[in-house]
A and B are shown apart, each in its own frame.
Chain A
Amino acid sequence: MTEKEEKKFTRRTFMKNSGITVGGILLGWGVSELFGDDQKKGTSTETVDLSHTHASGAHASEALLVFTLEQYRVVEAAVERIFPEDELGPGAKSLGVAVYIDHQLNTPWGNSSRDYMVGPFKQGTATQGYQGRQTNAQIFMMGLDALQKYTEKNYGDKFYILSAEQQDAILVDFENASGENKVQIDGISSSQFFQMLHSLTMEGLYSDPVYGGNKDMGGWKLKNYPGHQMTYVNIIEKEEFVVMEPTSLSSMK
């Protein structure tokens, strides 16, 4: 390497390589999180609207299958901190992410029915992947329960009543990027729950509206993503950026 190259090179950032797929698919994760980088968290001063209840006449498919109303409110508030409403547009709450999560917990994925769930269950090394005996839904519900208890104990109130800063502080503790292990949950780690909450939030924002999130394709609109289209043969070579009205799978019936 020449000296000039070397100099250029030091301006680049090098990190540990994990979790990336060919073709640019990142599995539901901001890259800085993915690589375990320690950074400061968002600190918006916005507070949560307590008076919010769904207008009667919400669509039948928005009914809850798993959460109690109380749990639903906690999840709604938590995902809103991950992806808050701001001047750029709607956040996870109004895009229906909590309904999405509720519904996902009641699917084959929630039941881990396509995972290998046979014992003996043993503690693995860092490279052996998930080795617990809990299903995805169980992990989520255990984490959610812990979130509620941790909030009560340390803040003496319900998660969705706290200020945005307080909510963020709790989520930071669960995320555990610092490695301080402030939250102990029997059988799972708090960061495992946080990661699941994060992936589910990305899914709820950007999956087809048929799954209950991405309300009115609002998540896609934020990214100028056209959703399901039959062909891009006419735009694939275009130099200029083309914004298209999104369509969802419901157009295929």
Chain B
Amino acid sequence: MATKLPSVDVVVVGVGWAGGIISAELTKKGYKVVGLERGKERKTEDFLNGHDELKYAHRKELMQDLSKDTLTFRNKDLEEALPMRKMSAFSLGTGVGGAGVHWNGFTHLFLDYDFQIRTKTIERYGESKIPEDMTLQDWGITEELIEPYFKTFVEMAGTSGEQNPLRPRSWDYPNPPMKVTPKMKRFIDTTEEMGLNPFISPSGNLSQNYTNPDGVSRAACQYCAFCDHFGCEYGAKSDPLVTVLPVAQSTGNFELRAHSNVLEVLHENGKATGVRYINVLTGEEYIQEARVVILSAYTFTNTKLLLNSKIGTPYDPVTQTGAVGKNYADHFLSMAFGFFDDEQFNDYAGAGALGVSLDDYNGDFFDHTELDFIHGGLISISQVGNRPIGSNLAPLGTPGWGAEFKKQSLYYYNRQMMVFSQTPMMPNRYNYLSLDPTYKDEYGMPLLRMTVNYSKQENNAHKFMTNKCAEIMENLGATHIMAFDQQGDYNIGSFVPEHSIGGTIMGEDPATSVVNNYSQVWDVNNVFVLGASTFASQSGVNPTGTLGALAYRAAEGIDSFLKEPKLLV
């Protein structure tokens, strides 16, 4: 039925940041790589007419078509999971470049604490600090090991930034930090006065023209304010389309097939032979054979493909055995809004990754001895550009519609700030991914089922971080402050940040993890899984810099595996 295609060295499933990096690195080394991407091809020119808030930010033009594939969701095992029918909580990427086309570009890196979170937590606070249901485990990688790959990633991407005072690096960002707006200046001055350690957020919007080590030249950011949810018409945003993919193409070793949705990984006797995929336009099915199969199709597809292909042992929360699907986590926002009666900001201007951050309440940079949670979050202020459909905020007590709503929402449109923390969920025994028994995707494959809720850890961390944000907002001098310190249940119908991690986690032990620190699957050695699905725990920062770094490490591993196929150590 399915047409068999000639075998290649490597087949890459999903061509976003992770798939793009691996394709560039392996084709540069001379390997023949086929990239299969379910969405369409895209180029910078597509975004010339792109300053359209309705189309991109609200109708989510660049995001996954849920009529073809979605996931099902429930808070706990006792409930029946139901499909996410509308794109509300997640903005999942699709198309060549993946979510790397429409991301903001904040390029924070995971903390040293994160990679050895179990060991370091026990060292400082003792084992009793870790609640029974918190399935906290080390990643099987150390800060020393990952550090050089961080550097490779930021140089490829052209990240603009300055040193974080709490965690200076041995290298500098290749470009100076972004311009400082009055809001940012105020945040810096205020938080410094409070004894905190702000730094300009590392940004994937270029602060100046830049040529990267691969020889790719790009133009500087214009602060156009149509960045997150949008593509960049200047190529100023670090995006696979203008960095790694042209490099892969230029080798002549890369074949990119768009509209190609992968359905399963084929394998026998512990070895993958290739993948089966469908051309979503014609309905034709193909088998692409390869020596190495790389899954870089984001957290949900990565986990779904392993489960549907019966690779690895599915995680079971009751017996706590198996690892595929384990340790799903996300971020949530803890924040404070401030309204300024007597000031106006040029808030229509901005850039995707324009802002200031501080790590004082992130990771283990502060003492948790007296606190009933671990970790914390990166606190930031950002100026991405207030767009008018989505921004109708007014102080508490303002009606939601009518003359007073009109008056207040217009008045405060350019008179507000938000201080927020990306607070991580910690891994929990009962938060996991599995296959749905009822619902299927357009191609007949079972949907991925997400079971997730917040626990005491999240509720306590949220309260604490909200307080810290509100404290800063008070010092910033806002006339009215609103903050939200109660959490409720994890809700698929409302916003959660798009930072889903876990499901195919990295670790030292094949019994409790899916891949080793080269992203190689323990059970089927010629399958590698890339992306945040390999993160064993969430941090207080955005994921992409870290998943990019791990992709560079995987490239080295895959190169040596292709020379001598074996388990990498």
Contact = CB atoms under 8 A, between A and B. Distances in A.
Nearest to B229: A25
B256 to A, nearest CB: 24
B171 interface: no
B396 A13 contact: yes
A141 B349 CA distance: 37
Contact of B487 (A17, A113, A131): A17
B557 to A, nearest CB: 33
B223 A231 contact: yes
Contact of B49 (A124, A131, A249): A249
Interface in A106-141: 108-109, 112-118, 120, 122, 124-131
A200 B505 CA distance: 41
Contacts of A19: 494-495
Nearest to B411: A88
B1 interface: no
Given A18-B491, A230-B222, A232-B349, A13 B483 contact: yes
A96 B74 CA distance: 40
Interface in B452-510: 462, 466-467, 470-471, 474, 481-495, 497
Interface in A79-113: 81-84, 86, 88, 91, 108-109, 112-113
Contacts of B393: 26, 30-31
A47 interface: no
B53 A206 contact: yes
B439 to A, nearest CB: 7
Query: For A22, A33, A125, A239, which residue has the most chain B Cβ atoms within 10 angstroms?
Result: A22
B73 interface: yes
Query: For B66, B181, B388, B410, which residue has the most chain A Cβ atoms within 10 angstroms?
Result: B388
A187 to B, nearest CB: 14
A53 interface: no
B83 A116 contact: yes
B389 A207 contact: yes
A69 interface: no
Given A207-B54, A228-B51, A241-B346, A14 B402 contact: no
Contacts of B410: 88, 222-223
A28 B406 contact: no
Contacts of B332: 17
A154 interface: no
B390 A28 contact: yes
A83 B399 CA distance: 12
A235 B466 contact: no
Contacts of A23: 104, 228, 352, 382, 384
A188 to B, nearest CB: 14
A42 B495 contact: no
B222 A27 contact: no
Contacts of A184: none
A198 B57 CA distance: 17
Contact of B388 (A40, A120, A206): A206
B525 to A, nearest CB: 35
Interface string A174-193: 01000000000000000000
Contact of A239 (B53, B182, B414, B467): B182
A129 B86 contact: yes
A205 B400 CA distance: 15
Contacts of B52: 207-208, 228, 249
Given A25-B387, A211-B54, 14 more contacts: A9-B467, A14-B466, A20-B495, A22-B420, A23-B352, A27-B58, A30-B401, A88-B406, A127-B491, A198-B400, A225-B413, A228-B51, A229-B224, A237-B179
Interface of B: 48-49, 51-54, 57-59, 65-67, 70, 73-75, 79-80, 82-89, 104, 179-182, 221-226, 228, 332-337, 344-346, 348-352, 382, 384, 386-394, 396-407, 409-410, 413-414, 416, 418, 420, 422, 438-440, 462, 466-467, 470-471, 474, 481-495, 497
19 contacts: A14-B486, A17-B488, A23-B352, A25-B390, A26-B390, A26-B392, A32-B396, A32-B397, A113-B67, A125-B74, A128-B73, A128-B74, A168-B402, A201-B401, A202-B392, A205-B388, A206-B388, A233-B223, A235-B346
Q: Which 5 A-B pairs have the closest CB atoms?
A: A42-B402, A33-B400, A129-B493, A232-B349, A206-B388
